[in-house]
A and B are shown apart, each in its own frame.
Chain A
């Protein structure tokens, strides 16, 4: 199984891309900071280590807040995995997340249900809203060939302004200075797993369950299979008899549902009222995560952890040194570019492929007569 060597190569390549991105970050830090070593320390180990006079100890609380920060991005990462697997560059995750959060919040405020059921209903409603909104770019793509990328980008703004309208003119809690809704009912809140203020709610468990569900969906069901084949080669899929249009719509609706679900879980878990006044940014994070995960749902939590860790590191760095937290965007952009670069280190891959091909040829010659599998 010399394909294993390719897998190892791909892993090393990922590590190289990330290292390179961090190196870029380090360069920026050294240029801009008076205390670069402190900044780097907080960036790289700060998220999980408390620096105390008595020595450095593992910082459990901080670690748990990193896990908490993964909740919405696991969902948006999964959403992007599904859509990008079908080769649909739908960038509407942002809008779907905000909409899901908003719908979930409204039901959390105005619906009267028992706890347990209430959360489920709110989250499902958020998912449905997210799925419905994605129907628009999806149908326009399939029926009219309009670019899902542009329409979904536009939809983000439409969704945001419509929500802001309702937030300001219909559902606003006038007693508060800031624009926000009334608080959610206690029954709708998603509780923390351990009540410690880290916001690590049961949503995290749900997110992990969905990682498994989506992984199964993509690799163990006919629909996921069709999505992946369409993404690889649409002509092949059509010729094979797959319902290409339906599956393309399905992929985007599922992306929307996952996003909407992530939005509602985040809102009901982290806050007590709906107070997003702009697009939350998780949609774009989802793209980074899906790229890091190579569109494979199983890798999404790891990628989400990595991004959440970096984010936390950047925040700490901004707090304890003179480097602004927006460093995260530079690191992300660099990771993004190198990670997605097919040809990055391609020479080495080529060498492996050629070596494998040569060995196969030799194998082929000896085995040509009998055929079959040589494992």
Chain B
């Protein structure tokens, strides 16, 4: 299979006009993680080329290298046939490469026009002052030429997400980009905004631009791209004509069901309801409704999964459940008691624990030791204190046990957490959150970006916990994970629950995809089934 791919690529090389050739690219980060392994990436002039892969497959790293944000450990890059060293974004821009990042790189208090001309602002004859009229003119002209509708005088803080993305695209085009890298551009967009974006992208293609489209959404890829490169585990799985490859095949290559980590678990035997969320609403400060009357329940002994493309309200939901943010309306109860606006201390005392999505921000104190990290939720317990002092023997005992039980690979409990690998850092978080024997565990992207061994281990631990009687709410953008691990599953789209599936084992990617992309939704009665008392 792999040989075929190589043969195919060689043929292509001899015939085609490539605008970008990345050959044998490898990237090893200082922490030892190899994000790209001998990747070849060839981009034809004037095509829309998808780079597909799951989170952590190495797509972003490859594109960061192309845009000069990272330097490859080895490999060669040719632009228009010329070998180049792309040492900085500046260099990339001068080579005609523009990138639209997943997280917008805009300055909120500046206007749209100011953002577009930032760093290349037109000046009046004095050459000292900005020519604001000219700036607006540049913005408007380009907007018209590429048919990207924007309001040049609005402040970026006040405009909707879809327009922000157009501003990002314009920023690149104004700087003379001929090759556009779009990093998961639809992740933050509504359906209408997405289809609008696609029209605009096709128009750009017709004007001769080359577009790299990073995504893991099959439907979109099929809809808009000419060719696609699939990545998995840092390697390229080959390049294909979009028309010639079936969604099934893409899915197989991308998620690699052949190596998928099957989670072995008995059928769940849920008992009483632990978590009850009712009519939760939240509008963020950019006036986007992130949660719209969200209601569901989680019972003892079951794992309820929340699937969905990122940015559809999952993060906000988790924030509300742990008082990292306050809902506008609605109730959240754990075992019948409201936990809205309770301090984290009190929430934890009610038996709730959280494996946070962003482990470096919430999960750990990076320069503290493993020991100090695993006791952060329990250091006040009587068991760990003797009078005013810590009972160090108990603390050592506890951390030793957790390190062994959760197979944290470390030199000693005193080792700084930041010196560990990603998987082991996550095990530190999981060790703390699971060992407190919670009534309710919220696991938000529990295995994101970590190695296979750690992933498998963590998933098994979660199953074991739930079978021991803990209610588990699993939030995951990893389709495989959410289907494999959950007993039942809800899908979030646009801040709403659009589907409830009582038995996740019956589900397949394609059905899920339709719900996650908002192509399908269930009736309110069907969805209401997840809100048992």
A and B touch in the complex (CB under 8 A): yes
Q: Contact at A371–B409, with CB atoms within 8 Å?
A: yes
Contacts of A241 in B (CB 8 A): 343-345, 347-349, 376-377
Contact assessment for A243 and B345 in the assembled complex, using a CB-CB cutoff below 8 Å: yes
Interface pick from A22-30, A72-80, A353-361: A353-361
A195 contacts B by Cβ under 8 Å: no
- Contact status A225-B379, CB under 8 Å: yes
Answer whether A357 and B31 are a contact pair too, CB < 8 Å, given A1-B412, A236-B361: yes
A243 to B344, CA, bound (A): 9
A239 — which chain B residues lie within 8 A by C-beta?
Answer: 322, 324, 344, 354, 356, 362-363
In the bound complex, residues from chain B placing their C-beta under 8 Å from that of A235 are: 361-362
Q: Bound complex: CA of A221 vs CA of B387, how far in Å? A: 9
Q: Counting CB contacts under 8 A, is B5 at the interface?
A: no
The contact size tier of chain A is: 35 or more
Known A-B contacts A225-B372, A237-B376, A241-B348; A372 and B407 likewise in contact (beta carbons under 8 Å): yes
* Residues of the B chain whose Cβ atoms lie less than 8 Å from the Cβ of A371: 404, 407-409
Q: Mark B333-359, 1 if CB is under 8 A from A, else 0.
A: 000000000011101110000101000
Determine whether the beta carbon of B344 is less than 8 Å from that of A238. Answer: yes
Chain A residues in 8 Å Cβ range of B409: 364, 367-368, 371-372, 374
Which A residues are in CB contact (< 8 Å) with B385? 222
Instruction: Knowing A232-B368, A242-B345 are in contact, say whether A373-B363 is a contact too (CB < 8 A).
Output: no
CA distance A170 to B343 in the complex (A): 48
- Asked if A229 CB lies within 8 Å of chain B CBs, one says yes
Once the chains bind, are A221 and B388 in contact (CB under 8 Å)?
yes
Within 233-289 of A, Cβ neighbours of B (below 8 Å) are at: 233, 235-243
| Interface residue A345 (Cβ < 8 Å from any Cβ of B) | no
| CB–CB B348/A374 < 8 A | no
- Complex Cα distance, B363 from A216, in Å, reads 26
Tell me if B389 is interfacial: C-beta within 8 Å of chain A. Answer: yes
Contacts of B268 in A (CB 8 A): none
**Cβ contact of A225, chosen from B343, B388, B390, cutoff 8 A:** B390
Residue of A nearest to B354 (CB): A239
| B367 interfacial contact with A, CB 8 Å | yes
Set of chain B residues within 8 Å of A242, measured between Cβ atoms: 344-345, 376
Residues in B whose Cβ lies below 8 Å from that of A375: 411-412
* Residues of chain B lying within 8 A (CB to CB) of residue A357: 30-32, 419
**Inter-chain contacts of B63 with A (CB < 8 A):** none
Report B406-418 CB contacts with A as 1/0, cut-off 8 Å. Answer: 0111111111000
Please state if B412 and A373 are interface contacts (CB–CB under 8 Å).
yes
B377: chain A residues at CB < 8 Å are: 240-241
Task: For the complex, count residues of B whose C-beta is within 8 A of A.
Answer: 47
- Least CB distance from A232 to B in Å reads 4
In whole angstroms, what is the CA distance A242 to B380 when docked? 9
**A221 in complex: contacting residue of B349, B390, B410, B413, CB < 8 Å:** B390
Distance of A240 Cα from B414 Cα, bound (Å): 20
Query: Does B365 belong to the interface (CB within 8 Å)?
Result: yes
Residues in A whose Cβ lies below 8 Å from that of B415: 3
Is the Cβ of A232 less than 8 Å from the Cβ of B367?
A: yes
Contact, CB under 8 Å: A354 / B367: no
B379 contacts A222, CB within 8 Å?
yes
B421 at the interface (CB under 8 A from A): yes
A236 touches B365 (CB 8 A): yes
**Given A239-B344, A373-B403; A229-B365 close (CB under 8 Å):** yes
Interface assignment of A174: CB less than 8 Å from any CB of chain B: no
Given contacts A1-B412, A220-B389, A238-B344, is CB(A232)–CB(B365) below 8 Å? yes
Given contacts A220-B392, A222-B380, A375-B411, contact A236 B345 (CB under 8 A): no
Flag if B411 contacts A1 (CB, 8 Å). Answer: yes
Q: Tell whether, in the assembled complex, residue A368 and residue B453 are in contact, meaning their CB atoms are under 8 Å apart.
A: yes
B364 touches A233 (CB 8 A): yes
CA A235 to CA B361, docked complex, whole Å: 6
- With A235-B362, A371-B409, A372-B407 known to touch, is A240 a contact of B368 (CB < 8 Å)? no
Interface membership of A228, Cβ < 8 A = yes
- Inter-chain contacts of A1 with B (CB < 8 A): 411-412
Query: In the complex, A230→B407 CA distance in Å?
Result: 27
Is A240 a contact of B412 with CB atoms below 8 Å? no
| B 235-281 contacts with A by CB, 8 A | none
> With A222-B379, A361-B32 given, is the CB distance from A233 to B365 under 8 Å?
yes
| B residues 359-404 touching A (CB-CB < 8 Å) | 361-368, 372, 376-377, 379-380, 384-385, 388-390, 392, 400, 403-404
**In the complex, what distance in Å separates the CA atom of A242 from the CA atom of B368?**
16
Task: Tell whether, in the assembled complex, residue A232 and residue B390 are in contact, meaning their CB atoms are under 8 Å apart.
Answer: no
CB proximity of B249 to chain A, nearest CB, Å: 32
Q: Which residues of A contact B400 (CB under 8 A)?
A: 373
Candidate in B324, B380, B384 with the most chain A CB atoms within 10 angstroms: B380
CB closest residue in chain B, given A230:
B365
Are A373's CB and B404's CB within 8 A? yes
- A237: shortest Cβ distance to chain B, in Å? 7
> In chain B, residues 40-97, which have Cβ atoms closer than 8 Å to a Cβ of chain A?
none
Contact B453 A229 (CB under 8 A): no
Residues of B within 8 A of A374 (CB): 409, 411
CA distance A235 to B218 in the complex (A): 36
Query: Considering only CB atoms, which chain A residue lies closest to B406 in the complex?
Result: A371
Question: In the complex, which residues of chain A have a beta carbon less than 8 angstroms from the beta carbon of B390?
Answer: 220-222, 225
Q: How far is the CA of A243 from the CA of B343 in the complex (A)?
A: 8
Task: Please give the distance in Å from A246's CB to the nearest CB on chain B.
Answer: 11
Question: Closest chain A residue to B349 by CB distance?
Answer: A241
- Across the interface, do A236 and B411 meet the contact criterion of CB distance under 8 Å? no
6 contacts between A and B (CB under 8 A): A221-B389, A236-B365, A241-B345, A364-B409, A371-B404, A371-B408
What 4 additional pairs, Cβ within 8 angstroms, besides A229-B368, A372-B407? A232-B367, A241-B343, A360-B419, A372-B403
A residues apposed to B, CB below 8 Å: 1-3, 216, 220-222, 225-226, 228-229, 232-233, 235-243, 350, 353-354, 356-358, 360-361, 364, 367-368, 371-375
Interface residues of B (CB under 8 A from A): 30-32, 322, 324, 343-345, 347-349, 354, 356, 361-368, 372, 376-377, 379-380, 384-385, 388-390, 392, 400, 403-404, 407-415, 419, 421, 453
Chain A to chain B: the 5 pairs with minimum beta-carbon distance, closest first: A371-B407, A240-B376, A241-B345, A232-B365, A241-B344
